[in-house]
Amino acid sequence: MPKVLISDSMSPRAAEIFADRGIEVDVITDMDADALAAKIGEYDGLAVRSATKATETIIAAGDNLKVIGRAGIGVDNIDIPAASGRGIVVMNTPFGNSITTAEHAIAMIFSLARSIPEASQSTHAGKWEKSRFMGVELYGKTLGIIGCGNIGAIVADRALGLKMKVAAYDPFLSPERAGVIGVDKVELDELFGRADFISLHTPMTDATKGIIDSAAIAKMKDGVYIINCARGGLIVEEDLKVALDEGKVAGAGMDVFVQEPAKENILFGDERVVATPHLGASTNEAQVNVAIQVAEQMSDYLLTGAVTNALNMPSVSAEDAPKLMPYMKLAEQLGSFAGQVTESALKKVKVEYCGQASDLNTKPLTAVVLQGLLSPLLESVNMVSAPAIAKERNIEITESTCDTLDEFQTIVRLTVTTEKQVRSVAGTLAHGNKPRLIEIKDIAIDAELGADMLYITNEDKPGFIGALGTVLGEAGVNIATFNLGRGEGGGDAIALIETDGPVSEALAAKVRALPHVVRAMPLKF
């Protein structure tokens, strides 16, 4: 009989479902890391919310662990690479608390607009300071939404119901989808200039970390209100505090913080800041929903092998799995590469399978491509949700096959059409079914992707390689592999470089400043 540990407080329905399905379940909460590490070896499954930290150490101690289920969206508390390395499936419940989180953001907007927390406190104290709490109407004001995925779209819908105007920044939001949900699709700087209220609904990535900083705030209207119910770190808290003190920002609604639990914070004690302890998903309805979903998903996997909403494993039949697994990695890498270098709204995605790949069950592979493609800017995308998200955003998805190849036995080619350009990337399997990139933007290359990569497009001119090596060397960044490709001599060229550690944005900026460099982007795989 499988055995599951519930290590965080969640609805009793989760334990009931496990028991009803014939799975032994223990509910032991508030364990420290040492106690959990000593206990986890007894269990096949671990069900958590956000309090339990499923670190590499905990995962290594889970000798029998097969699945970790997160009752909620965010998986920052789970070391997914460590779990993947040990063959442990990581699941979440990406849609169970979307409405609840969106409603909390709307509640923050109302609280800021009418000073409700401060007015309530003052009134309880018998002060009756009616003239002190002059508010602002939401009617006719512009709400700027950064990240218009599932939660952001719900916030937009509620704001439109309040007769607000809504402008949305989301690189993956198509004009057609924007029209359907009734928002203006804008660039980030335009949003900053137009919005009276700004609400963040984007995941925490290298691209979004500190997206609200002093430079961004300087582009905003005087008296803007800022709300963050997404992830701590999207806002540079020190810069926000300065802007509040200077009067540039009229108020802020903060449900998340860089350090959590937040016992101390530079924003605490400022009456212009409405602060809540990460309550975005904290309603009875949401907690019941995510508890039921995670218990059902984990039970299905432990009892039947069925996989739903996994972040590190696709839904693949037992028959197809051995043949597909090498291609799964290749498909994910192709999608992730294209997603990280794409900076405008997606219109079309075409995946072509040639040679041996044409005989495979390609639907799971295409889903994995979409997962990799959408993951850089959308939180908790998996191969189950990715096709639905693509359809929702009016992204046209096509597959094609071809039988014969001249040079390679198998090729998977991904072509991405955006509002601004068409780009392709292709890969194959070589050297014991290891994925390799063989073509970027119609330029031949031969590269194996590592964890940290630097992608450069440049003019094919003398001196580039030497200058690049000097800049990286001076920064203490070691080159692991160096892969070059070019079109016509003296024309367009690309470099794909694996480094022994991440390339910072500051270092990437130095690379971009080199002669002949057109573009330089750090990538992670």
Smallest Cα–Cα separation from 294: which of 32, 518, 15? 15
| AA identity, residue 250 | A
Q: Which one of the listed residues 137, 176, 260, 419 is annotated catalytic?
A: 260
Rounded distance, CA 233 to CA 256, Å?
Answer: 8
Q: The tokens of 350 are what?
A: 């075409």
Name the β-bridge partners of 310: 91
Q: Which of 231, 393, 413, 436 is catalytic?
A: 231
**Phi and psi, residue 430, nearest 5°:** -150, 165
Q: Which residues pair with 46 in a beta bridge?
A: 5, 68
Q: Is residue 393 flagged as an active site residue?
A: no
278 is catalytic: yes
Query: Catalytic: 231?
Result: yes
| Among 391, 317, 303, 307, CA closest to 89 | 307
How many other CB atoms are there within 10 angstroms of residue 140's CB atom?
10
DSSP 400-446: EEE---SS-SEEEEEEEEESS-EEEEEEEEETTTEEEEEEETTEEEE
Alpha-carbon distance of 250 to 272, in angstroms, equals 7
Q: Is the bond leading into 94 cis (omega within 30 degrees of zero)? A: no
Distance CA 417, CA 386 (A): 17
| Catalytic residue, candidates 70, 278, 393, 436 | 278
Reading phi first (left if > 0) and then psi (alpha if -120 to 50, else beta), residue 247 is in left
Query: Which residues are part of the catalytic machinery?
Result: 231, 260, 278
